[in-house]
């Protein structure tokens, strides 16, 4: 499974690469993000085009992934620029239609790997048409914005309500590389990382983003990535995965109920 680490810091990029992270992401997406996520405890990046070149210059094993802005009047210039600065994979966020995907694929023109970040209700409704577009290399399900778009309370609710399973089956059937969401360090997070990783294994996921707690002061990223790898590489029976799935759903429902019962604004 490809582990993705988001940073605009060359030193952190080198550390992540040394720890065995497969991809380092520079995040240029800014259009509309403050409006969508400004009220949440999420990271809204301030990465720049210059960071793409800086991060790319220190990578020789990990791939350079760049998330660009949603399709807009400047998309051609932005996509051409990030490719010139060394992007090896380009991720398109917040698309809603097959037409936007077609535009993205055309602008990339086969020069680098294309990755769609599926995170809108409209894209879910259009998934069959989107999957018919040629040139899609990967699809990553963005749980943060997608759960907001669907009016849900908790991003992992998409696991418990079956939505992620349905998308997974269609994407895998289309023979497109699939991944979803992010994961905290083992033993951390609202929902234990081991349960999330178990769901990745069950769903044949190939990608996951490492959460910001891998960057916390005093955290040894080598140790933490090693723990993730060890968990992923330890064989798990169908029975174990099914048991983990039931436990995951129980915990998700508990978290959702707690969120719904909490006083508004708390």
pLDDT digits (tens, 9 = 90+) for 12-40: 999 999 999 999 999 999 987 655 444 44
Q: What is the share, in percent, of the chain residues with pLDDT greater than 70?
A: 94
What does the alpha-carbon distance between residue 209 and residue 181 come to, in Å, rounded to a whole number? 6
Q: How many CB atoms lie within 10 A of CB 162?
A: 10
- What token pair was written down for 13? 């990029």
Q: Token pair 């234990």 is at which residue?
A: 192
Q: What confidence score (pLDDT) does residue 265 get?
A: 57
What does the alpha-carbon distance between residue 34 and residue 44 come to, in Å, rounded to a whole number? 7
**Does 41 score more than 70 pLDDT?**
no
Which is nearest to 121 in space by CA: 105, 97, 99?
97
Cα dihedral angle (136, 137, 143, 144), rounded to 10 degrees? Answer: -80
User: What is the value of pTM for the model shown?
Assistant: 0.91
Q: What confidence score (pLDDT) does residue 190 get?
A: 81
**Ramachandran angles phi, psi of 187, nearest 5°:** 90, -5
Per-residue pLDDT tens digits for 166-191: 999 999 999 999 999 999 999 877 89
Please give the full DSSP string across 28-54, using - where no structure is assigned. Answer: ---TTHHHHHTTSS-------HHHHHH
Q: How confident is the model at residue 42 (pLDDT cuts 50, 70, 90)?
A: low
Which is nearest to 232 in space by CA: 159, 190, 189, 179?
179
For domain 2-261, say whether CATH 3.40.50.300 is its number.
no
Q: What confidence score (pLDDT) does residue 36 get?
A: 47
Q: How confident is the model at residue 198 (pLDDT cuts 50, 70, 90)?
A: very high
Q: What is the mean pLDDT of residues 52-57?
A: 97
Please give the full DSSP string across 45-90, using - where no structure is assigned. Answer: ----HHHHHHHHHH-SSSEEEEE-PSS-TTHHHHHHHHHHTT-SEE
**Does 201 score more than 80 pLDDT?**
yes
Q: Token pair 């051409």 is at which residue?
A: 80
Q: What are the structural domain ranges in the chain?
A: 2-261
Per-residue pLDDT tens digits for 66-87: 999 999 999 999 999 999 999 9
Q: What is the share, in percent, of the chain residues with pLDDT greater than 90?
A: 89
Q: How confident is the model at residue 261 (pLDDT cuts 50, 70, 90)?
A: confident
């Amino acid at each position: 499974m490809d582990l993705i680490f988001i940073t605009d810091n060359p030193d952190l990029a080198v550390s992540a690469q040394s720890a065995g992270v497969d991809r380092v992401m520079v995040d240029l997406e800014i259009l509309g993000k403050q409006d969508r996520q400004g009220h949440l405890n999420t990271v809204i990046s301030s990465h720049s085009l210059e960071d793409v070149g800086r991060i790319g210059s220190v990578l020789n094993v990990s791939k350079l992934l760049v998330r660009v802005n949603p399709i807009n009047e400047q998309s051609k210039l932005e996509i051409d620029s990030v490719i010139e600065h060394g992007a090896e994979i380009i991720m398109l966020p917040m698309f809603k239609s097959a037409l936007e995907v077609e535009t993205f694929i055309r602008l990339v023109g086969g020069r680098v790997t294309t990755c769609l970040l599926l995170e809108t209700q409209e894209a879910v409704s259009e998934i069959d048409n989107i999957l018919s577009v040629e040139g899609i290399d990967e699809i990553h399900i963005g749980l943060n914005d997608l759960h907001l778009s669907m009016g849900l309370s908790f991003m992992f609710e998409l696991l418990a309500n079956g939505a992620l399973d349905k998308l997974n089956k269609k994407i895998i059937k289309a023979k497109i590389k699939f991944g979803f969401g992010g994961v905290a360090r083992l033993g951390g997070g609202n929902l234990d990382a081991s349960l999330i990783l178990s769901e990745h294994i069950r769903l044949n996921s190939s990608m996951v983003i490492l959460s910001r707690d891998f960057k916390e002061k005093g955290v040894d990223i080598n140790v933490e990535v090693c723990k993730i790898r060890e968990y992923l590489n330890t064989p798990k029976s169908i029975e174990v995965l099914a048991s983990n799935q039931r436990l995951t759903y129980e915990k998700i429902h508990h978290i959702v109920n707690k969120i719904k019962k909490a006083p508004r604004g708390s």
